[in-house]
Every structure is written in C-alpha cells, then in structure tokens.
A and B are shown apart, each in its own frame.
Chain A
C-alpha cells in the first residue's frame, strides 16, 4: 500500500484557505504566467497574498463572477495561468455554465478556488455553505476536482494544481481553522489517494476537513477492537479506483464522510467505483439532502452528521451489515 502514516499529530489549527493562498503565492513566484482574477472577497479567500506580491498580475473584476470565469478563460487562451477564487457557492454554482462551456469545453487550464466549502462556514448560513459543488464540478468533462485535508496539503495541492496540472481544476477549501496535521514531505499525487491508517475491518474514506475526523474515529474504534483503514481522498476526480477497489476487497465495508451533500458528492463517486469493481456495503455521511443553517461549525457538523462520533456509529452499522451480508 502507498504512503502509510503511522502517527498524525496536529501542528496547530489553521484554515485550509490559508494553505490555498500560500500555494498560489508559491506557484506565482515560480511561474510568471500565473495571474489572479478577483471578485471582491480577495482577503477572505486569501488571494491577497498573491495580489499584494504581484499587483500587476491581479485583476479585480468586482462582484461579477460569471465575467470573472469568462475572463479567466480568455487569459488562459493567451497562455496565462489564471487563478479565480471566490466562495464555492459562487465559483462552482453562480458560474456553472461559464465553467462548462468557456472553461471545460475549451479545455483551458483555469484554476478555480472554491472557498468556504462545507457547512463549517457556520453563522453565515445556507446561502454561503457550498454543499453541492463537488457534485456539479465532478460531472463536467475535463475537470479535476481536489479537496485537500488540511492547510499544508491545501498549499501543496494548490501549487501543483497551478504549475503541474493542465486543464480545468476545481480546488475546494474551508473557512475555519482546522487541525493541520500532514507533513510537507508527504508525497502528493493527484492520481493517488493517501492511506493514512492501516486496518482491515472496514475502510473510512474521507475528504477535506473530514479526514481528521475520520482519524479520530478510527482511534476510538481501535480501542473497541475494530481496526479501520483510513483513506484521504484528496482528489475526487480523477478518482483513484485501485485504492478504492483494494479497500473494498480487503476490508469488505466502506464508510464515506464529506462536508457535502450525500447525493452526488465524494461518497457517490466512491460508490460508482465500488459497485463496478467490488461491491461491498457502504454508508455515506454528509449533508442529508437539505440546506444548512446558521450556527457554530462544531454544532452544525454534529447536527448534520459529519463528526467523528457519527463515523463511529456508521462504522458499527456497517460492520453489522458486513457480518450479516446486508
């Protein structure tokens, strides 16, 4: 198996959006073709790091997300590497037709940031909680969809997405400070999911902020005698079929967890692989087909079923299903 990690320790809480901003800056230092497109919330999505360092390469276009996306496509056509970041509810949804035609149908290397992804946006409420973006973005031809698990990974993934990938990329990240637990040395390959914990009783596949919750849940399950494999699915499209197939084959039960609607998101993407490659019982955790609401991030994650505790419950259920073959 690939990249096993024995111990994960929190280096300190840090928002993944900070990792994104640092990744853009690093990429831009190395590649002068990198340009930025902004829709007014530059500081909030941490594009200010780039804009301050390279003001002549940053284009403020105001609160006009559709135009931002089209302009980014035009910049890419002229050989620039545009990064357009705004809240995921806008970058993935307000602009969807522009992403589909101007970016994806033209197969252009536009890096789209989906900020404030998930319900952990908190008090802003449902309008600003991007919970459908993975489903929409992963359905578009030519698109790569990335969902890093912490700030360190967000930085690495963003820099690589900008300077090592081609074609359209959607990279989602969150608002809140969350455990920053991966190492800069951890190998990162968009085509390969990361094995964060060994285990053969069941597999927990997580993405984004939920990977840390999955690790916490796995530790608790271990104390109860259940060894869960944990996979960090940082790239949802293209999906690492082989790692998922192996997990299905070797553990016989899968729980997925994501800060996204259960319909059409990462869990669905995993299920598409599992039913074809090696069908096993699955439980999918995420938003249960409803809108979010205002509240503190931890309250919302608890209420809507995206926490270590919910993963433990799902694990118990899936092991029963595995045993009883249902």
Chain B
C-alpha cells in the first residue's frame, strides 16, 4: 500500500505512533523515545520508498531494510503490522513470553518481515555492507537501507563498516541516521561528541544528505536521492526529535528506554491525536 500524499502519510504516522504507545503500555517496558523519533522514517519507508511485498516477505527483488538499532523494535513491528506483514492485534504481545515480537528483533521467533536479528549496537551496518556487496556481485537492482542511531555512531565498528562501504563504492547502500541528539545518559554531544557528523561521513567517502526527519516533503525526496546516487554509498542524516508527537516528553533523554505508565497511555494517545 503506497501512500503518495503527505496528508495520508501524516495520518499513517499518527496511527503508528499511537500503536507504539499502546503496545509499550501493555508491554510495561521498552523504548518509547527512539520509536517516536523514527516513526516518520518508518512510515516513509514502508508506505512510500521501499519496494517490498508484505504477502511475500522474502521476495528476492525487495529492498532490504536493516534495523541496526534493535531497541526501536516497537515502531518497527508497528510499521510492519500496518503494512500488512502480520495482524495488528499481535502488537499486544510485545515482549511477552512466547511472542514473535521480541524485545529486540529475533528472526528465530518467526515474525514476517524481520531482515536481521539485531540489538547489539554497531553491527547492523556491517551486515548491510555484506548484503550490498552481495547485491553488487550479483548485479541486483535492490537497495539496502540501514537505520542507525546517532548514539550508535560512537561504536567503533560503525566506522569500520563505513570505511568498507566507501572503499567498495556501495551506491546500493543507504544509511539513515536517526539524529535525535540524545541517548540514555543525556545529550549525544555531552556523552561523547559525534559532530561534525556530515564531515565524518564525507571523509569516509560517502554522499551525505541532511534533512528534517519529520517532514515527509523533505524526508522522502532525501531517501530517493540517496537511493539514486551513483558512485558512493549515501547517508541521510535525518534530524529528529526524541519522543516526537508528545511535546511533554520531546527531547527528554529520560524517555529513551521507558514505556508510558498505564495511566499515561490514554493521555499520550490524546496528545498524539491533537498534534498529528
């Protein structure tokens, strides 16, 4: 189901944010902040940018979406459910014993649409590089998208992977950095400075595009330009706000890794509706 109109994408993102809040409320644990900062990115990908087929998750010609920051699984699962990979009702099982919706994505539990079991930060980009190398070797036309967190860029292995993607000129690889500027301990620039971020990627031989990660009219063209760029891998630095959609928690790093309390769920849903 492709959504072309910005208004329709906004409505979908609003629905996804609300289901994220609902599923985290039921789960009683999990990461709300990053799930909301990436909600528009997931909406743009699954409802506009990606070539994919929810009825055939392993369709060989699909674009590959690698989620390196496994902790934003709640929004990943919600986007997949809304796209039609599995029933939305299953979102209620997030983090429960026996669920296919593990706290961090785990393919062995059989949830359709999961490309990689991940959650230990700094690994997804290397896997994405391997997949892009294979795609190039076999002359495949699909693109590998990889979602990384900004705090995650403090992992040294990210730069090993970035160096190799630049070296092999993997223009079938697009990294999306969720630049929400906070991590568990506080602001990224206080915990461990990652700026000048665009210059870092450029120095590793990447094409760099910056955009507002909450504005579909910027985000979707940026993702498409990144996909179409030839000769280098591309990174879209998506400037976002942790907790986006709920002004009461926006930018507050204490919301990185906690869910809404049971009494807050209805309140948050009303706020998202009002701001959506």
Residue numbers of A with Cβ under 8 A of B are 35, 56-57, 59, 61-62, 64, 66-67, 69-80, 82, 97-98, 100-102, 105-107
Instruction: Indicate if the CB atoms of B126 and A98 lie closer than 8 Å.
Output: yes
A103 to B123, CA, bound (A): 10
**In terms of DSSP, what is the predominant structure of the interface of chain B?**
helix
Asked whether any CB of chain A lies closer than 8 Å to the CB of B226, the reply is no
Is A78 within 8 A of B157, CB to CB? no
Q: Is B220 an interface residue (CB 8 A)?
A: no
Asked if A64 contacts B130 (CB within 8 A), the reply is no
Q: Which residues of A contact B133 (CB under 8 A)?
A: 59, 71, 74-75
User: Shortest 5 CB-CB distances between A and B: which pairs?
Assistant: A74-B130, A70-B126, A78-B134, A67-B160, A64-B160
Out of B128, B157, B163, name the residue touching A74 (CB < 8 Å).
Answer: B128
Asked if B127 contacts A73 (CB within 8 A), the reply is: yes
Chain A CB within 10 Å, residue with most, of B124, B129, B130:
B130
Nearest Cβ distance between residue B14 and chain A, in whole angstroms?
Answer: 33
Contact indicator A101/B129 (Cβ below 8 Å): no
Query: Is the pair B157, A66 in contact by a Cβ cutoff of 8 Å?
Result: yes
- 26 sampled A-B residue pairs with Cβ under 8 A: A62-B163, A62-B167, A64-B157, A64-B160, A64-B163, A66-B157, A67-B157, A67-B160, A69-B126, A70-B125, A70-B126, A74-B129, A74-B130, A77-B127, A77-B130, A78-B130, A78-B135, A80-B134, A98-B123, A101-B118, A102-B116, A102-B126, A105-B106, A105-B108, A107-B107, A107-B108
B93, CB-defined interface residue at 8 Å: no
Q: Could you tell me the distance in whole angstroms from the C-beta of B43 to the nearest C-beta in chain A?
A: 25
Chain B residues with Cβ below 8 Å from A62 are 160, 163-164, 167
Distance, CA A35 to CA B135, complexed state (A): 13
Given known contacts A78-B130, A106-B107, is B161 in contact with A67 (CB within 8 Å)?
yes
Count of chain A to chain B residue pairs whose CB atoms are closer than 8 Å in the complex: 104
Partner of A78, one of B119, B126, B131: B131
| Shortest distance between the CB of B155 and any CB in chain A (Å) | 9
Contact B126 A67 (CB under 8 A): yes
User: Once the chains are docked, how many angstroms separate the CA of A106 from the CA of B138?
Assistant: 22
Q: Measured between alpha carbons, how far is A88 from B133 in the docked complex, in Å?
A: 25
Smallest Cβ distance from A179 to chain B, in angstroms? 38
Give Cα A70–Cα B118 distance, bound, in whole angstroms: 11
Complex contacts, B160 vs chain A, CB 8 Å? 61-62, 64, 66-67
Inter-chain contacts of A61 with B (CB < 8 A): 160, 164
Whether B123 lies near A101 (C-beta < 8 A) is yes
* B116 lies within 8 A of A71 (CB): no
